[in-house]
Structure 1
C-alpha cells in the first residue's frame, strides 16, 4: 500500500505536465495559422467589420436627408446630406443618390474597383479616385447604385490606389451632376 501512495503524486505531476504541454502546442498552432493568413483573408475580415458598421445611423440619416428618390440634386439654399461611409445600406433601394463628400471623409478608407466600385468601398475616397471630388475640398457627388459584379479591377488615379476584388453582391459608380 505504501508503494501506491508514492506513485500517486508522480501521476498527478505527469498529468499536469501533459496538460501544460497541450496548452502550449495549441497556442503555437494558432500562431502558425495566424502567420499563414493571406491578405485576402484580412480584407474579408475588414469587410465583415465594416459590414457591422454599415447599418449606422449616419447612412440612414444621409438617405433621409438626401431624399428618398435620390435622383434629385439639392436646390439653391438646400443643405446636402453628407455621404454615408459606403453604399451597402443603399443596395436594392434607390437607383441614384446625391450627397456631399467632405475633404476629411476622403482622406482614408479602403476602395475596391475602378468604377464600378464594391458597395462597401469608402464613397468619398472612391469619388477622389474617380475625379468627381478632391482631397482638399471634397465635393458634391451623385452615386449610381448598381448590381454586383463578377470582378473588380483596382487602379491608381488622382493619387488614390484601389484594390482588385472578386465577385461582390453590390456596386456603385458616379454620374455627372446636371447643373
Structure 2
C-alpha cells in the first residue's frame, strides 16, 4: 500500500511501459516453451532488462540471473571482456556488447544471454553521441549485435534500450540467428 492507501503497483506493472511488460511476458513464455535459460549483462540499462524479465510470474524457471556491469572494470573482471578492447574502443562498442553477452552466458550458465551497452546521456561517451546503443545476444545457434540510434531523455533512452533488448531476445527465441 502507498501512503495514500492505494495499492502499490505489482511486479508486472511497476511503472514500466506496457510494451516492456508485454515483451517481457512474451520472452518468458517463449523461453519456458523452449526450455531456454536466460541471462543478462547490462551497462546503461542498469538491471532494467533483468528487472522486466523477473517481474513476470514463472520467470524463475528460466531466468538464471543478471549482471550489472556499469563500470568498465566490471566488464573486464566479471564478464571477461578483454581489457585491451575496452582501452582501444571504449565500453560503447559492438564487440564489447558481444563479449559482455558471452561473459554473461559463461558466468550464469545460461543458454541465451543478452547484453546492453551505450550512451544514455546527457553527455557523449567514448567518442559516441548520446543515444548510441549496442544490444547483443548469444546462444547455441548464433550471435547477433544490433546498433541503435535512439533519441530522447536519458530515461527514455534507457527505457527504449530495455524494450530493444527484450525484443532481441524474443526474436532470437522465435527465429534464432544462423
- TM-score band w.r.t. shorter chain: under 0.3
Larger RCO (CA under 8 A, 6+ residues apart): 2
